[in-house]
């Protein structure tokens, strides 16, 4: 959904992207000025080796768990406030 604020057009973000279609992904990746996180994600996957990407799919690697583990190892909570490693584990590895 688009909305206008002080002459600028903004797109509201959905609560999640679980229903993201391949067509929508293609539109996002074709955008010349994507939102910063799409740019980062596109770069991560575009530079990963094809073998790694196939391995992730073939062996059902739990990307959410890997992501949570990495976030917990940084020592920050969900608001990016330093809480220490033990507390971060509680926050991210629930």
Q: How far apart are CA 52 and CA 73, in angstroms?
A: 23
pLDDT band at 48 (very low <50, low <70, confident <90, very high): very high
Q: Model confidence over 9-42: pLDDT tens digits?
A: 777 788 899 999 999 999 999 999 888 999 999 9
d(CA 4, CA 10): 6
Structural domain boundaries in the chain = 22-60, 62-94
Q: What is the pLDDT of residue 51?
A: 98
Give the DSSP per-residue string, 39-73.
Answer: HHHHHHHHHS-HHHHHHHHHTT--HHHHHHHHHHT
Of the pLDDT bands very low, low, confident and very high (cuts 50, 70, 90), residue 79 is very high
pLDDT at 53 over 80: yes
């Amino acid at each position: 959904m688009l909305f206008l604020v002080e002459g600028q057009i903004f797109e509201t973000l959905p609560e999640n992207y679980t229903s993201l279609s391949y067509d929508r992904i293609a539109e996002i990746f074709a955008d010349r000025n994507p939102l910063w996180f799409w740019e980062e994600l596109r770069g991560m996957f575009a530079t990963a080796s094809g073998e790694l990407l196939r391995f992730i799919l073939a062996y059902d690697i739990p990307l959410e768990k890997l992501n949570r583990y990495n976030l917990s190892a940084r020592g920050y909570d969900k608001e990016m406030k330093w809480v220490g490693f033990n507390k971060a584990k509680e926050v991210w590895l629930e």
